[in-house]
């Protein structure tokens, strides 16, 4: 595929992705921080639904031999250290690397600082990468998939994952319906928290 076509496909897919992130409100700092403080589960619901949908799609495409799987290396040191940092960053930024772009599009000004910090972080890693590559933070590891470890076809494991996710989602939704997690201004800012600080930052007098 030509570069031009790949970029066109990318923009079109991104617009759909950005639309779904905005409409689902999962790009909201209130939803993301709320998830990490275990008081709002919209993020987990979308995440697990998207994972299950992806698993059904891949069970079909891979099961019938149309596509190869693209798993990443099982580099445990890098996965654990990187994952912990990534998670800390998600809470402080109130965003993931993708959702922060949706925040920019929807008009959150602080997201511009998240993107700038993110570029700076990626550049810093780029300079450090040659030194890290041969340490425990390197990516030199086999690409392991659970189903090949057990010795069954991918699609069977994918369907087991989908079944598990459905059970978790039904339980979550029964316990905490999504409509109760949106907040007054669909930003995950839930009522009932006694605080004088409900007004937006820019509406307050300058200090």
Partner 1 sequence: MLTRKAWSPYFAGIVIGLLQIPAFLLIETALGTSSSYVTVGGVVTSWIDPSILKIDYVARHVAATGKNWWQVALVFGIAVGAFLSMRLSGAKRHAVSPIWQRALGSPSPARRYAVAFLGGFILLLGARIADGCTSGHGLSGVAQLAVGSTVAVAAMFVGGIATAMLLLRRI
106-135 binders of partner 1 (CB under 8 A): 106-111, 113-127, 129-130, 132-133
Restricting to residues 5-24, name those near partner 1 by CB under 8 A.
5-24
What Å distances lie between residue 201 and 38, 102, 115, CA to CA? 24, 20, 21
User: Given the complex with partner 1, which of 130 and 151 has the nearer CB atom?
Assistant: 130
Query: Is 145 in contact with 71 (CB distance < 8 Å)?
Result: yes
**Enclosing H/E stretch for 45:** helix 42-63
Q: Check: CB of residue 139 under 8 Å from CB of residue 71.
A: no
Shortest Å distance, C-beta 135 to partner 1:
11
Query: Do the beta carbons of residue 113 and residue 180 sit within 8 Å?
Result: no
What's the token pair of residue 191?
């009522």
From 64, 65, 163, 189, residue interacting with partner 1 (rule: CB under 8 A)? 189
> How many residues bind to partner 1 according to rule CB under 8 A?
148
SS3 144: coil
Taking CB under 8 A as the criterion, which residues in 74-103 touch partner 1?
A: 74-76, 78-103
Q: 204 is written with which tokens? A: 């307050």
The reply to whether 159 sits near partner 1 by the rule CB under 8 A is no
Q: How far is the CB of 164 from partner 1 (least distance, A)?
A: 11
Contacting partner 1 within 50-69 (CB under 8 A): 50-58, 61, 66-69
Closest separation between CB of residue 121 and partner 1, Å?
3
- Token match 């470890």: residue? 149
Residue 192 lies near partner 1 (rule: CB under 8 A): no
> Closest approach of Cβ 206 to partner 1, in Å?
10
Among 64, 70, 175, 191, binds partner 1 (CB under 8 A): 70
CB of 137 to partner 1, least distance (A): 6
Spatial distance between the Cα atoms of 15 and 34, rounded to a whole number of angstroms: 26
For the CB of residue 59, give the shortest distance to partner 1 in the complex, in Å.
9
Q: Is 191 in the site for partner 1 (CB under 8 A)?
A: no
Cα dist from 68 to 60, 84, 115, 144, whole Å: 11, 29, 32, 14
C-beta of residue 185 within 8 angstroms of C-beta of residue 109: no
């Amino acid at each position: 595929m030509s570069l031009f076509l790949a970029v066109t496909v990318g923009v079109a897919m991104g617009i759909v992705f950005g639309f779904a992130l905005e409409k689902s409100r999962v790009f909201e700092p209130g939803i993301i921080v709320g998830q990490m403080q275990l008081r709002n589960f919209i993020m987990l619901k979308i995440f697990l639904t998207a994972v299950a949908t992806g698993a059904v799609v891949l069970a079909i495409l891979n099961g019938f031999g149309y596509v190869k799987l693209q798993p990443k290396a099982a580099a445990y040191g890098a996965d654990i250290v990187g994952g912990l940092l990534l998670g800390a960053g998600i809470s402080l930024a109130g965003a993931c690397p993708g959702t922060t772009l949706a925040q920019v599009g929807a008009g959150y000004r602080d997201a511009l600082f998240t993107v700038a910090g993110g570029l700076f972080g990626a550049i810093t890693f780029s300079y450090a990468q040659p030194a890290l590559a041969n340490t425990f933070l390197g990516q030199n590891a086999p690409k392991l998939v659970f189903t090949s470890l057990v010795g069954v076809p991918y699609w069977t494991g994918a369907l087991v994952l989908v079944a598990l996710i459905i059970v978790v989602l039904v339980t979550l939704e029964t316990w905490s319906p999504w409509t109760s997690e949106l907040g007054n201004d669909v930003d995950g800012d839930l009522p009932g928290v006694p605080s004088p600080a409900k007004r937006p930052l820019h509406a307050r007098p300058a200090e």
